[in-house]
Chains A and B, each alone.
Chain A
Amino acid sequence: MSTATIPALPAGRTFRLGATRIAYEVRGYFRQGDTVFFTFLFPLVMLTIFATAFSEGDFGKDADGNAVTAAAFYLPAMLAAGVLLSGLQNMAVDIAMEKSDGTLKRLAGSPLPVFSYFVGKIGQVFVTGTLQAASILLLAAIVFRVPLPTEVERWATFAWVFVLGVVTSAILGIALSGVPKSGKSATAVVIPITLVLQFISGVYLSFTQLPEWLQNIASVFPLKWMAQGMRAVFLPESFEVLERGETWDLPGVALVTALWLVFGLIAARLTFRWIRKDS
């Protein structure tokens, strides 16, 4: 039977298609009103609310004696929340929906490599997460007059915390997408997880004011560490003593986040299927 020899597909198409998928995914993302609100705009809305509601609050002073505003205090927290929402929440809901609405089944029948699909997903998170972080920074700097750091080292720290955080968050979202039984239940499963994480990880509430046991629990999860890394970038040095162990502990940030990245990669690799066969 001559048909058994199948012509090979052109080499390099996996990466080319991955790039094509990124553009396709990003376009689709911004056309979904609910995702744009709940993942993209949410940290901007929260920053605005906190900056306005707590504008009279006392958040301490920097080394020069200038008061730290509510907006400045909440800026790193909202950047960390944005990483969690754009990555984990967005991916977990998005892929669970695609699984149940037939998108993945259609792709499974096409010659799209799984790897290209993931390049597209992670690329989508990276592009939208970057735009979101830029929007948060612009909002803080322009509207709320938050002084942004000028030192190169701080921006270098921001770069690695952000990139590592976004990728880890996206991968964990892919792994989590297998948990909801249907697309409809996806938000009900995923949003409570991200919401609780934000409350216990020092995003909405000051971390060191939480009870010790809750801090210990939160320290297992990556959001606490991402938020801490963001504080190291944007809060004055004098705030470091307020942290647990009186240190930003950037090696700890890198280590815990990277461990979650590895865990997420393994879990995603083991659990992801285009479709549930024979369901």
Chain B
Amino acid sequence: MNTDSVVSVRDLQKKYGSVTALDGVSFDIQRGETFALLGPNGAGKSTTIEILEGYRDRSGGTASVLGIDPGKGGLAWKARLGIVLQSSGESGAVTVREQLTHFASLYPDPRSVDEVLAAVGLEAKHKSLIRTLSGGQRRRVDVALGVIGRPELLFLDEPTTGFDPEARHQFWDLVRSLKSDGTTILLTTHYLDEAAQLSDRAGVIADGRLVASGAIDEIGGADVRVPIVSWIEGGEKRSERSTEPGAFVAALARRVGEPVGLEVVRPSLEDVYLGLVGGGAEVSAALDLVSTSSTTASSTTASSTTDAEGVLA
């Protein structure tokens, strides 16, 4: 266990009755780092984050958050956390400013209310009752309440769901500024671009297991990023991975002449992710080609080529 870990999880288990929600999840988050948990709905992201927030008890394994077992964290421990839950539906009979001022009063060293209002872009709405705000604006209030206590560790559970693109970019700027203040952040998200924009490292959870973790541009390993060359030969679609696609295509052209239906695709982050979580059967089939290089795989590249980033110019 790294001594500078703000969050350290080993072999985390969670069972609901006979259903296993988490099965041996382990990861560390270093001080000042932003770590993203990716995964499909029901994979165990929220269960993991809620165990670390102290909302749920784990069934097994160890967890340490700011050096404390989150199942036993007291008020002084909570004072150092910021929590943005996945959903909130409070009656909202207070104004934005009243709510922020109130929550600021709960913490020993809060941020200034005006500073936080500005950071989440709610200055113009500070006198509005929360119940009159739009969904996206209410989400900003949630984020504001999460950061008002100047947390050392911030949990963001799908923070930008329901944001328009502009609000999402503003939110990213806010997270970057929190990061530059030294805040450690654990983020769950569905959006791969969000994870790529914000996180230093990411972990992918599928079926209660951490199937990959690492820097966002290395996740899943180098092999899954090897470009895929596909062409039609003898009426059959063929695919092969090659670390030198140019040379491969040149050799192919010498052998068969101008290849029919030639495509060279570098798997995008999304392809890698879908391959990891098994969500895109076709893509994962394509990624399985690594070991069986000359296997015919019909229609495998079709989904990959729809991603413009994945196509080599």
Q: Mark A247-279, 1 if CB is under 8 A from B, else 0.
A: 000000000000000000000000000010110
Number of A-B contacts (CB under 8 A): 94
A195 within 8 A of B: no
B79 A9 Cβ-Cβ under 8 A? yes
Q: Mark B40-56, 1 if CB is under 8 A from A, else 0.
A: 00000000000001111
Contacting residues, chain B, for A27 (C-beta < 8 A): 93-94, 98
B166 within 8 A of A: no
Residue of A nearest to B77 (CB): A6
A103 B83 Cβ-Cβ under 8 A? no
Contacts A97-B91, A102-B87, A102-B89 given: A6-B76 contact, CB under 8 Å?
yes
B127 within 8 A of A: no
Contacting residues, chain B, for A103 (C-beta < 8 A): 90-91
B91 A32 Cβ-Cβ under 8 A? yes
Contact residues, A92-150 vs B (CB, 8 A): 97-98, 101-103, 105-106, 108-113
A241 within 8 A of B: no
Contacts A111-B107, A277-B55 given: A1-B67 contact, CB under 8 Å?
yes
Q: How far is the CB of A154 from chain B (nearest CB, A)?
A: 37
Contacting residues, chain A, for B215 (C-beta < 8 A): none
A8 within 8 A of B: yes
B56 A277 Cβ-Cβ under 8 A? yes
Chain B interface size band reads 35 or more
- Neighbour of B76 across the interface among A7, A20, A109, A275, CB < 8 A: A7
B75 A9 Cβ-Cβ under 8 A? yes
A109 B54 Cβ-Cβ under 8 A? yes
A28 B94 Cβ-Cβ under 8 A? yes
Contact residues, B72-88 vs A (CB, 8 A): 74-81, 83, 85, 87-88
A3 within 8 A of B: yes
Give residues in A with beta carbon < 8 Å to B.
1-4, 6-10, 17, 20, 24, 27-28, 31-32, 97-98, 101-103, 105-106, 108-113, 275, 277-278
Give residues in B with beta carbon < 8 Å to A.
3, 6, 16, 53-57, 64, 66-68, 74-81, 83, 85, 87-91, 93-94, 98, 102-103, 105-108, 129, 145, 149
